[in-house]
Chains A and B, each alone.
Chain A
Amino acid sequence: MWKRDESVKPATGSTGSTPAPAQHGSTPHAAEAAPTRPAPASEPQRGQERNVVNIGTSVVIKGELSGSEDLTIEGQVEGKIELRQNVLTIGANAKIKAQVFAKAVIIFGEIVGNVAATEKVDIRDNGSVDGDIAAPRVAIAEGAHFRGSIDMQRGNKVEQKAEAKPAAQPAPTSAPAAPAGVPR
């Protein structure tokens, strides 16, 4: 039993370091949002293979940033960020003035500019977005700042869903793509 406790300890320590997990119960997708953070611990199987690149707080980039790895930005970026197949994390210290496109965008810091994601955009508490969001799923935590429009792109989502699970039944509560009683 004692050995088991010790083996658990590092895992709890690592989750404790994630910023403000208590906030996430307030949004319907917050619980889902927490594990999507591209920390290696959250996705142990893929995380070992996937490279996560960090851009530190002292780094300033002006121009176009694109790549095929998960990226965490803590510095400043002005221009355009494109990670079509990967997760982009905007760290708490980051200041972004850019058009952002990624598979998933997790925001702890500040973005001024439009954000588009093929999977989801997740603004965590103290995260800030001034711009338009286009994503099939959007989670906004308590304490987050947002100004702009939110477009959930239902049409695209339905197509994606159909490709992924052709015979699957849509979940009534959490699946945004095929809600019951949606206006036409």
Chain B
Amino acid sequence: MLSDLLRWGGKRSSQTETTGDAPAPRGEEPVIPSKALPKFLSAIRRQPGPPVLLDFGPVIGANVAFFGERLGCKLFIEDLFADYDKHARGGTLDALAATFPSRLRHEDASVDGVLCWDFFDFLTKPASQLLARQIVRVLRPGGAVMGFFCTSAVPRTAFTKYEVVDETAMRHRYHPGIGGARMPLLNRDIIKMFDSLIVSDSFLLKSNTREILLRRKA
């Protein structure tokens, strides 16, 4: 007890410890403005009824609160990064793409918005095409798809999870996992992949990431 008293005013180690899931203190994780996010939100708000969202990222409490509580969306969490991680650890990445149709069992035209984050960067071109086909299938008329695409190849990188801070910014957070190589897709490949969607907005960020918003005509 005396030692507790003597520690008064000192740094409390138990409160400053970080967890294995978030190695960097929260304040050090960068908050990056997003230009595509407000457009995406605007698109899903225009949809009649409560929007249905498909999220390919890991579940994040803040995003559940933002999309579920604040915007009234119904959220489907389909953590494809976890699938990628599982296949990468098992050495079966080639088989990942084949799982997409069974993984995304949503009905045709049943989803208003798809949050792809940067998942396409980790896929091969054929795998990207397979996933894009599924996205196009489930997207409702007027629906929107938001994805981040790198502009140069990276041999190996960790995953990032994107926490929505507000309607114009996201916190880029470390996400545990094996990670993988990132391969850039050309703009024309993206347009081809989503052949029945239109690229409504494309922004090149200072980080050389392309934020791309695709829409299905209403």
List residues of chain A with CB under 8 Å of any chain B CB. 5, 9, 20, 22-23, 25-30, 125, 137-152, 154, 176, 179, 181-184
Asked if B77 and A146 make an inter-chain contact with CB atoms under 8 angstroms apart, the answer reads yes
One of B14, B45, B77 near A147 (C-beta < 8 A): B77
Complex: A38 Cα to B48 Cα, angstroms: 39
* B64-99 near A? 1/0 per residue, CB < 8 Å: 110011111011111100100000000000000000
Given contacts A143-B19, A143-B21, contact A154 B77 (CB under 8 A): no
Asked if B61 and A176 make an inter-chain contact with CB atoms under 8 angstroms apart, the answer reads no
Report the nearest B residue to A20, measured CB to CB. B19
Asked if A183 and B22 make an inter-chain contact with CB atoms under 8 angstroms apart, the answer reads no
Q: A145-B59, A183-B45 are in contact. List 18 more A-B contacts (CB 8 A).
A: A5-B1, A22-B14, A22-B15, A22-B17, A26-B62, A27-B64, A28-B62, A137-B69, A138-B65, A138-B68, A139-B65, A140-B60, A147-B77, A147-B78, A179-B70, A179-B71, A182-B71, A183-B72
A170 to chain B, nearest CB (A): 12
Asked if A152 and B72 make an inter-chain contact with CB atoms under 8 angstroms apart, the answer reads yes
Report the nearest B residue to A149, measured CB to CB. B76
B11 within 8 A of A: no
Complex: A145 Cα to B50 Cα, angstroms: 25
Query: Which of A28, A144, A149, A152 has the most C-beta atoms of chain B within 10 angstroms of its own C-beta?
Result: A152
Asked if A149 and B71 make an inter-chain contact with CB atoms under 8 angstroms apart, the answer reads no
Contacts of B70 in A (CB 8 A): 176, 179, 182
Report the nearest A residue to B78, measured CB to CB. A147
Asked if A140 and B17 make an inter-chain contact with CB atoms under 8 angstroms apart, the answer reads no
Given contacts A26-B26, A148-B77, A150-B74, contact A141 B61 (CB under 8 A): yes
Contacts of A145 in B (CB 8 A): 59
Contacts of A149 in B (CB 8 A): 74-77
Complex: A179 Cα to B67 Cα, angstroms: 11
Contacts of A26 in B (CB 8 A): 22, 26, 61-62
Given contacts A28-B61, A140-B64, A144-B59, contact A152 B69 (CB under 8 A): yes
Asked if A176 and B62 make an inter-chain contact with CB atoms under 8 angstroms apart, the answer reads no
B164 to chain A, nearest CB (A): 11
List residues of chain B with CB under 8 Å of any chain A CB. 1, 14-15, 17, 19-22, 26, 44-48, 50-51, 59-62, 64-65, 68-72, 74-79, 82
Asked if B75 and A150 make an inter-chain contact with CB atoms under 8 angstroms apart, the answer reads yes
Complex: A26 Cα to B171 Cα, angstroms: 12
B157 to chain A, nearest CB (A): 21
Question: Chain A contact residues: over half helix, strand or loop, or mixed?
Answer: mixed
Q: List 16 A-B contacts (CB under 8 A).
A: A9-B1, A26-B26, A125-B19, A140-B60, A140-B64, A143-B19, A145-B59, A146-B77, A147-B59, A147-B77, A147-B79, A150-B64, A150-B74, A150-B77, A179-B69, A183-B50
Contacts of B65 in A (CB 8 A): 27-29, 138-139, 176
Contacts of B79 in A (CB 8 A): 147
Asked if A138 and B71 make an inter-chain contact with CB atoms under 8 angstroms apart, the answer reads no
A42 to chain B, nearest CB (A): 20
Contacts of A148 in B (CB 8 A): 76-77
Asked if B76 and A154 make an inter-chain contact with CB atoms under 8 angstroms apart, the answer reads no
Report the nearest B residue to A175, measured CB to CB. B69
Complex: A26 Cα to B72 Cα, angstroms: 21
Contacts of B74 in A (CB 8 A): 149-152
Contacts of A25 in B (CB 8 A): 26
Contacts of A144 in B (CB 8 A): 59, 61
A57 to chain B, nearest CB (A): 25
Contacts of A146 in B (CB 8 A): 59, 77
Asked if A30 and B19 make an inter-chain contact with CB atoms under 8 angstroms apart, the answer reads no
Given contacts A140-B61, A142-B61, A148-B76, contact A176 B22 (CB under 8 A): no
